[in-house]
Structure formats: structure tokens, C-alpha cells
């Protein structure tokens, strides 16, 4: 099917701006905040009981975190959320809407983690932060959701980091991977089919990787390309992708590899949608429906944990 017509205006606005690949990392971060935080319509954030700042352990010191608590009494699951942004952009504010949606829709405590970004902190810094943060939060579940259910979630590069953390930290009950980057080395049809014109493009992906990894980095390292890791015994997963996303096929490949390893997995590719659809509900009813469905699937998975 064609791209959701409701996204036409947003795509035109994005195309009219300076491509992220032509910006400095600092300017790219500002542009991404302007799009995600500045463009957020008032009253669209899902209500939660409370939002508090926190600190969690990282790979090289404490990391900023933000804790979202749902309405009602506990104990409830705890979900560690790792934001997207190509390991270079994104922060706690850019992903507040996603954190709130997961918190309210799954009735879980969501701990959003502000890991180190490239190029200031190159690979494997973000991966080490994700692993250390999840381990720390696992050790203190009584401070968060209070139940013994711990899950990880993330979108794009955050989905990559969530998958990496799941491979390195035992005891995770579920994972939510939203259009995840899973295989930097891969050659996928969706990268060619959707490489331009759909928000995330080839040039930007190259720019992200170039600002995160060094020239001598082994791109097959599972901490960078989790599809190359051992998926035996991984936690049950919800993996969602978009039809017009260059990352579509590697997300599907990861879900297929999980299933081949005997892991229960739910995989959905939403027709007509693009990378980043989870936060595009204010512009597109179809994006909102897909985001709601994604959260509902994850809620069911957590309920079974």
C-alpha cells in the first residue's frame, strides 16, 4: 500500500529542512529536539501517576534516568527504556511521550535511561551503559515496580541497545523492540527500497554509524549488531517494524532469528508507515493505532511473564 497520506505534510516539512547528515552532532540534537519536543502538541502526553528524576549505574559512571510510575497500587513490572537516535541524538525529553505511553498502557514502571552518545563516547560506550543500567535496575526492582518482572524496550538504536542488554543480562522477562537496528553489516532490500524520502535515509544512517563507531570497529560485534549474537534463551519479544522503513528487513530478520532459536516472538509490520511512527500519532491516526497496538501487545507479554 502507499505511504499513509496523513504523513505527507510531515514528510514534506522534514524534506524542506537541512538533512541531519549535513549537521554537526550538536546541531542534529537540537533539530531532533525541535521536531520531537518542540513539535509535540499540548495535551497529547499519556497521563501517569508521577515522573521523577533518578540516577542509575552506567559503564563509566552514573547516568541520568527518569522514572514514570503508573496509576494504581503495585507491585508492577519494571521496564527499562532506551531511546532511539542513532546512538548520536535523542535524550530523556525526546522520548517522554514513548515512556509515558508504555507506562500507562502496560501499567508498568518505566525507567528511561540517558546513555552516553557518540561521537563524544564511541562504541561500545552506549552498549556498556545499557548493560550496566539494566543490571543496576535489576538489582533494585524493589525501588521501582516492585515485582520480579523486568523488561527492556527501545526504538531504533534504542531497540538495538535493548536487544544487546537482553543478550548480556540474565533474568529479563520480555523485550519490546520498535523498528530496531540489529545488523550494521547486513545487506537488506528495505535499505534500498526505502533509502530516501521516508524520514530515516541512507545518508543519515551512514552519518549515525560514522559518529558512533571507529574505523577499526568490528561491525559484526554482537554489541553493535545483535543479530550476530547467540539468541538461545532470549526473553520473549514483541518486534514491530514499518513498511517504508530502511530498517524493516533487519527487524524482521531479528524476529525470525529469535523464533528459530525457540524464543516466543510476536512480529508485526505496519503497512503504510515509516520509521518513527510510534511518536507520529498527532499527525496520523494510523500511526497512533499502530503505537497503541504495539503497547497492547507488550502489555499482554508482560502479563504472561
Residue 44: the pLDDT is: 86
Q: Where in the sequence numbering do the catalytic residues fall?
A: 156, 245, 275
Residue 200: the pLDDT is: 97
Number of domains in the chain: 1
Residue 247: the pLDDT is: 98
pLDDT of 133-175, one tens digit each?
999 999 999 999 999 999 999 999 999 999 999 999 999 999 9
Q: Cell 494510523 sits at which residue?
A: 286
First to last CA, the chain: 35
Residue 43: the pLDDT is: 83
Q: Which residues of 98-118 are buried (b: 16+ CB within 10 A; e: fewer)?
A: bbbbbbbbbbbbbbbbbbbbb
The C-alpha atoms of residue 48 and residue 70 are separated, in whole angstroms, by: 5
Residue 130: the pLDDT is: 98
The domain of 56 spans: 5-304
CB 69 within 8 A of CB 102: no
The CATH number of residue 17's host domain is 3.40.50.1820
Cα–Cα nearest to 161, from 229, 105, 242, 106: 229
The C-alpha atoms of residue 256 and residue 238 are separated, in whole angstroms, by: 12
The verdict on whether omega for the bond into residue 75 sits within 30 degrees of 0, i.e. cis, is: yes
User: pTM here?
Assistant: 0.98
Cell, residue 215: 574505523
Mark the ranges of the chain whose per-residue pLDDT is less than 70.
Answer: none
Residue 74: the pLDDT is: 84
Residue 3: the pLDDT is: 97
Residue 42: the pLDDT is: 75
Distances (CA, A) of 165 to 48, 131, 278: 26, 5, 22
Amino acid at each position: 500500500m502507499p505511504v499513509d497520506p496523513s504523513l505527507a505534510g510531515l514528510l514534506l516539512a522534514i524534506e524542506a529542512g537541512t538533512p541531519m547528515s549535513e549537521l554537526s552532532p550538536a546541531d542534529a540534537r537540537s533539530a531532533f529536539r525541535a521536531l520531537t519536543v518542540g513539535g509535540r502538541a499540548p495535551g497529547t502526553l499519556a497521563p501517569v501517576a508521577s515522573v521523577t528524576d533518578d540516577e542509575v549505574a552506567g559503564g563509566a559512571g552514573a547516568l541520568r534516568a527518569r522514572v514514570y510510575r503508573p496509576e494504581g497500587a503495585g507491585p508492577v513490572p519494571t521496564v527499562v527504556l532506551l531511546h532511539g537516535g542513532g546512538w548520536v541524538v535523542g535524550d530523556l525529553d525526546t522520548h517522554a511521550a514513548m515512556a509515558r505511553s508504555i507506562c500507562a498502557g502496560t501499567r508498568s514502571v518505566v525507567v528511561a535511561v540517558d546513555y552516553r552518545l557518540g561521537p563524544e563516547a564511541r562504541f561500545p560506550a552506549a552498549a556498556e551503559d545499557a548493560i550496566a543500567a539494566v543490571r543496576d535496575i535489576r538489582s533494585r526492582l524493589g525501588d521501582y515496580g516492585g515485582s520480579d518482572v523486568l523488561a527492556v524496550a527501545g526504538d531504533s538504536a534504542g531497540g538495538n541497545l535493548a536487544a544487546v542488554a537482553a543478550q548480556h543480562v540474565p533474568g529479563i522477562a520480555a523485550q519490546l523492540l520498535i523498528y530496531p537496528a540489529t545488523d550494521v553489516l547486513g545487506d537488506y532490500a528495505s535499505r534500498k527500497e526505502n533509502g530516501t524520502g521516508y524520514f530515516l535515509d541512507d545518508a543519515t544512517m551512514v552519518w549515525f554509524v560514522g559518529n558512533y563507531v571507529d574505523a577499526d570497529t568490528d561491525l559484526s560485534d554482537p554489541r553493535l549488531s545483535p543479530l550476530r549474537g547467540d539468541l538461545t534463551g532470549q526473553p520473549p519479544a514483541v518486534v514491530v517494524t514499518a513498511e517504508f522503513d530502511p530498517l524493516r528487513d533487519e527487524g524482521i530478520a531479528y524476529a525470525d532469528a529469535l523464533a528459530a532459536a525457540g524464543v516466543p516472538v510476536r512480529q508485526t509490520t505496519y503497512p503504510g508507515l515509516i520509521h518513527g511512527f510510534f511518536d507520529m500519532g498527532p499527525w496520523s491516526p494510523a500511526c497512533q493505532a499502530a503505537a497503541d497496538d504495539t503497547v497492547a501487545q507488550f502489555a499482554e507479554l508482560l502479563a504472561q511473564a
